[in-house]
Amino acid sequence: MNELDILKNIAENLSERKSSAALNNYEVLCNNIKYVNDLFVWSINKLNIIQDRCINELKNDISVNNDFKDNTRPFYYFRTIIPRILLNDISIIEKFITFTQPDDRKGINIEDVGKLKRTFLDFNNLVTSARQFIDSLVTDSYKLTLLDPKSTNFQVLTSLNSFNKYATKSIRSALFNSAIHNSLTEFENLNYNERIRGQESAITKCEKKTYGEKVDFLFDNLGLTADVGFKEEIKNLFSFSSEFTHIGYVSTFFSTSAGAEVIFGDDISPYLPSTENFSELKYEILETATKFFANIYLPSIICSLNKVFENYVFIKYQSLINDIISKIIKDLKTRNNQYYFFIVEGLIASNKIIDLKCMCGTTNHWKPPHELSDIYCKNCGSHFNLIEMKGDPGYIITSNGPVKVIGSSVPDFDELPFNDKLQILKKCEELVNNKILK
Ligand SMILES: [Zn+2]
């Protein structure tokens, strides 16, 4: 191909709307988006409470370590800076949560299905808020982990320097006092090398300049080096969202004047391919962001509080934050899982409705002709695998305890009389003791 062939291909791709296809299950996506978004709202409420407690506790000289005790010590001022970083991050996260809510499908019918159409504005809001989220939180996790005066000065003064170049006089005078103005002037008078080297007499230093370097540092510091896939995911979200926010070639694909979309439908309401595609991206971003929050951001807060507080104070915060982390990790795992069910041979392809109770609590009614493409949880997207068993086996003892074989004549385990349950559990115990299940 020559350069004109390529240009022609680009032009045609921009002007033609491809017949979009919904590649995922929209209902499941909406449920999962709601579930993870609610989880994030819960976590932020908890973090807000922690931030509030921190402000007061940091004022107390008795609670903090020696290096933070008074203004002759090198880290004293972090007692004011740390809660402000947290407060700002909470605002950024709240904005991100607003742009990652599930679609409201109430009362949508064929006539107003257009309300669910997703356009440039929706994609742009979602992706730019994701960009702000991941960029700010990586930088702040780095700052919190490091708690280094010169590095913090560099980050803040670089930011103020950019801001100062274009800010109006009134905003500048409202935000900057004369002391910070003097600091900024001193910083502006330094050349780049003087700003980053951090020599003895320097006011600033910068060791990790790029986003990628900060991510590498955080993964190393938190002992997550082996999780190469997750690290790539964090870097890829940044590249993806940067492209969309800054250069914008991809965004031109979304701003093309779209023709009428085909209308899809499920048990709830009609919807459009763009709605479904948008939700798919939203879920992916939401999941990555939540994982980042639990595995990197919150541990970075723990890291900084460990430096600041006396141990007896620190362990209280550590336990509060670890509770948030555990819940997020545990709850995220319940989405899009794989589960195994035991089932009596001959039930599949019979004319009976097979009830499959998912771990998320939803009972899915699998109707004849029992299509295998239909065997997943409508609530959480988990896939079910079936293992057929001959006869009427009753319960199967698994490493998770006794499980009823679907289609057996016995009652559900939970409905058994107490003594019968006990008998089966004793059998489990014997098997474990005999190491059969180990
Ligand atoms: Zn489920």
Taking residues 78-89, what's their average pLDDT?
Answer: 95
Among 160-169, 215-224, 242-251, 357-366, whose mean pLDDT is lowest?
A: 242-251
341 Cα: distance to centroid of ligand 1 (angstroms): 13
| pLDDT higher than threshold 60 for residue 373 | yes
- Note whether 286 and 359 are same-domain residues: no
Q: Calculate how far, in angstroms, residue 407's C-alpha sits from the geometric centre of ligand 1.
A: 20
Mean pLDDT of 389-414: 83
Provide the pLDDT for residue 116: 85
Last residue in a domain, options 333, 366, 383: 333
Tell me if 261 is assigned to some domain: yes
User: Is there a single domain that holds both residue 407 and residue 422?
Assistant: yes
Distance between Cα 383 and ligand 1 center (Å): 9
- Separation of CA 299 and ligand 1 centre (Å): 29
Ligand 1 centre and the CA of 101: distance in Å?
20
Distance CA 312, CA 322 (A): 16
Q: Which residue has the higher pLDDT, 264 or 203?
A: 203
Q: Do residues 187 and 195 make contact, with C-beta atoms less than 8 angstroms apart?
A: yes
Q: Are residues 381 and 286 in the same domain?
A: no
Residues 279 and 422 in one domain: no
Of 236, 241, 154, nearest to 198 by C-alpha is 154
- 271 and 327 inside one domain: yes
Q: Quote the pLDDT of residue 256.
A: 53
Residue 398, pLDDT above cutoff 60: yes
pLDDT at 332 over 50: yes
368 Cα to the center of ligand 1, angstroms:
20
Query: Is 90 exceeded by the pLDDT of residue 300?
Result: yes
Residues pairing with 389 in the sheet: 344
**Residue 34 forms part of a structural domain:** yes
Specify whether 251 is located in the same domain as 304. yes
Are both 288 and 367 inside the same structural domain? no
Report the share of the chain in percent with pLDDT over 90: 51
Same-domain status, 412 and 373:
yes
Q: How far is the CA of 423 from the centre of ligand 1 (A)?
A: 30
How many angstroms does the Cα of residue 379 sit away from the middle of ligand 1?
Answer: 5
Counting DSSP H helices and E strands in the chain, the numbers are 15, 8
Q: What is the average per-residue pLDDT within 345-359?
A: 88
pLDDT in tens, 6-49: 888 877 776 665 554 445 688 899 999 999 999 999 999 999 99
Return the pLDDT at 32: 94
C-alpha to C-alpha distance for 284 and 241, rounded to whole angstroms: 13
Which tens digit of pLDDT belongs to each residue from 102-154?
Answer: 998 888 888 888 888 888 889 889 999 999 999 999 999 999 999 999 999 99
For residue 364, how far is its CA from the centre of ligand 1 (angstroms)? 8
Which of 268 and 132 is assigned the larger pLDDT? Answer: 132
The alpha carbon of 382 and the centre of ligand 1 are apart by a number of angstroms equal to 6
Tell how strand 264-265 and strand 270-271 pair up.
antiparallel
pLDDT at res. 15? 64
Q: Is residue 383 part of a domain?
A: yes
Whole-number percent of the chain with pLDDT over 70 = 93
Residue 174: band (very low, low, confident or very high) from pLDDT cuts 50, 70, 90: confident
pLDDT at 436 over 60: no
What is the whole-number distance in angstroms between the Cα of residue 346 and the centre of ligand 1?
A: 25
Distance 362 CA to ligand 1 centre (A): 5
Range 209-233 average pLDDT:
94
Distance CA 198, CA 338 (A): 51
Claim to verify: residue 316 and residue 359 sit in the same structural domain = no
DSSP code string of 91-134: HHHHHHHHTTPPP--TT--STTGGGG---HHHHHHHHHHHHHHH
pLDDT at 79 over 70: yes
Using the 3D structure, point to which of 288, 305, 333 is the last residue of a domain: 333
This prediction's pTM: 0.86
Cα of 333 from ligand 1 centre, angstroms:
11
How close is the Cα of 292 to the center of ligand 1, in Å? 24
For residue 380, report the distance from its CA to the centre of ligand 1, in Å: 4
The answer on pLDDT for 286 being more than 70 is: yes
Weakest-pLDDT range from 76-85, 126-135, 292-301, 352-361: 352-361
Position 22 scores a pLDDT of 47
Question: Average pLDDT in the 228-252 region?
Answer: 85
Task: State mean pLDDT over 276-286.
Answer: 92
Distance from the CA of 41 to the center of ligand 1, in angstroms? 21
pLDDT (0 to 100) of residue 418: 85
Q: Using CA atoms, how far apart are residues 156 and 195, in angstroms rounded to an integer?
A: 12
User: What is the reported pLDDT for 255?
Assistant: 60
Q: Measured in angstroms, how far is the CA atom of residue 25 from the centroid of ligand 1?
A: 13
Distance 429 CA to ligand 1 centre (A): 29
Domains in the chain, number: 2
The answer to whether position 197 is within a domain reads no
Cβ atoms 324, 43 nearer than 8 A: yes
- Between the CA of 406 and the centroid of ligand 1 the distance, in Å, is 17
How far is the centre of ligand 1, averaged over its atoms, from the C-alpha of 419 (Å)? 30
Residue 355 forms part of a structural domain:
yes
- Alpha carbon of 340 to ligand 1 centroid (Å): 12
Residue 363 and residue 238 in one domain? no
Would you say residue 75 lies in a domain? yes
Cα of 287 from ligand 1 centre, angstroms: 17
Ligand 1 mean position, distance from CA 336 (Å)? 8
Distance in Å, CA 359 to ligand 1 centroid: 6
pLDDT for residue 395: 85
The residue with greater pLDDT, 34 or 262, is 34
Residue 383, domain extent: 338-433
- What is the rounded average pLDDT for all residues in the chain? 88
pLDDT score for 6? 85
**Distance of alpha carbon 370 from alpha carbon 346, whole angstroms:** 12
62 vs 105, residue with greater confidence: 62
Q: How confident is the model at residue 438 (pLDDT cuts 50, 70, 90)?
A: very low
- Cα 20 to middle of ligand 1, angstroms: 28
Are residues 122 and 102 located together in one domain of the fold? yes
* CA 396 – ligand 1 centroid, Å: 21
Residue 189 falls inside a structural domain? no
Distance between Cα 358 and ligand 1 center (Å): 5
Residue 278 lies in a domain: yes
Where residue 175 falls among pLDDT bands split at 50, 70, 90? confident
Q: Which of 333, 360, 387 is the last residue of a domain?
A: 333
In the reported structure, the alpha carbon of residue 305 is separated from the centroid of ligand 1 by a whole-number distance in angstroms of 37
Kindly state the tokens that stand for 75.
Answer: 């880290």
Ligand 1 mean position, distance from CA 377 (Å)? 5
Do 267 and 367 share a structural domain? no
